[in-house]
């Protein structure tokens, strides 16, 4: 029996994204927008992979139904597209591969990821901030070198201006409580839930199993 190996995979993803920040601190899946993009994986082995992504995600939020939470609040709303690019390290809970080719391999595996990325967005001007992606997913090995997966990740940004709006007079979402906080507090983020399909590339040989 011969085990076939591929070094990389490339594919596309599509799903939804939603904002978490000063205008939405607890409600999951509030104001979901389309998210779509491309991904590429480089396999270190059947447990670990390095993944790169480039995607577009939408976010929006409003304070009209939460005015009691903020001092001097105004009914504000915002909506914008984000450009997200990053690199993540993935860890498969099982040795991922075609079970017909690899003894002990699993054609389905949950995985976790973490990494570093950049988020580009536009307010009154173009802006860029770093983000930390954290997430989990599940992947399935399909016939003919295809892979199918479902992934949910949270991008914790280093900015409090993803929810910027020019409507405000005194009340601002980037400092709603008018208080100083640590660098990692009161920052905006967003979730991405996406389905992806990818194709294996760069055959690196076969190994004989008896």
Q: CATH code for 2-176+183-202?
A: 2.40.160.20
Q: How far apart are the first and last CA of the chain?
A: 6
Taking alpha carbons only, the member of 154, 176, 156 closest to residue 63 is 176
Determine contact, residues 37/16, Cβ cutoff 8 Å.
Answer: no
* pTM given for the model: 0.84
Instruction: Note the pLDDT of residue 6.
Output: 84
Taking alpha carbons only, the member of 45, 113, 120 closest to residue 83 is 120
Whole-number Å distance between alpha carbons of 94 and 107: 9
Q: Where are the domains of the chain?
A: 2-176+183-202
Instruction: Note the pLDDT of residue 63.
Output: 76
Burial (CB count within 10 angstroms: exposed 0-12, middle 13-18, buried 19+), residue 41: buried
Instruction: Note the pLDDT of residue 3.
Output: 46
Determine contact, residues 35/51, Cβ cutoff 8 Å.
Answer: no
Whole-number Å distance between alpha carbons of 118 and 107: 32
CA 90 centroid distance within chain = 13
Instruction: Note the pLDDT of residue 109.
Output: 95
Beta strands in the chain (DSSP E): 2-20, 33-43, 48-62, 77-92, 108-122, 126-141, 146-157, 189-208
Instruction: Note the pLDDT of residue 1.
Output: 34
Taking alpha carbons only, the member of 134, 132, 144, 131 closest to residue 111 is 134
Taking alpha carbons only, the member of 154, 149, 141 closest to residue 194 is 149
Write out residues in the chain with pLDDT < 70, as ranges: 1-4, 64-74, 98-104, 167-186, 205-210
């Amino acid at each position: 029996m011969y085990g076939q190996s591929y070094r990389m995979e490339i594919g596309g993803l599509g799903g939804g994204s939603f904002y978490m920040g000063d205008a939405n601190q607890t409600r999951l899946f509030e104001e979901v927008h389309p998210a779509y993009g491309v991904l590429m994986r480089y396999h270190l082995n059947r447990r670990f992979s390095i993944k790169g992504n480039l995607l577009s995600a939408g976010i929006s939020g409003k304070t009209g139904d939460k005015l009691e939470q903020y001092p001097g609040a105004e009914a504000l709303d915002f909506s914008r597209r984000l450009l997200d690019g990053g690199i993540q390290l993935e860890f498969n809970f099982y040795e991922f591969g075609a079970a017909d080719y690899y003894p002990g391999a699993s054609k389905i595996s949950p995985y976790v990821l973490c990494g570093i990325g950049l988020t580009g967005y536009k307010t009154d001007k173009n802006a860029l901030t770093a983000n930390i992606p954290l997430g989990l997913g599940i992947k399935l090995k399909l016939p003919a070198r295809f892979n199918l997966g479902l992934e949910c990740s949270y991008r914790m940004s280093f900015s409090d201006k993803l929810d910027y709006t020019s409507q405000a007079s005194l009340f601002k979402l980037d400092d709603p409580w008018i208080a100083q906080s640590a660098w990692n507090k009161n920052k905006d983020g967003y979730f991405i839930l996406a389905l992806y399909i990818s194709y294996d590339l760069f055959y690196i040989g076969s190994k004989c199993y008896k």
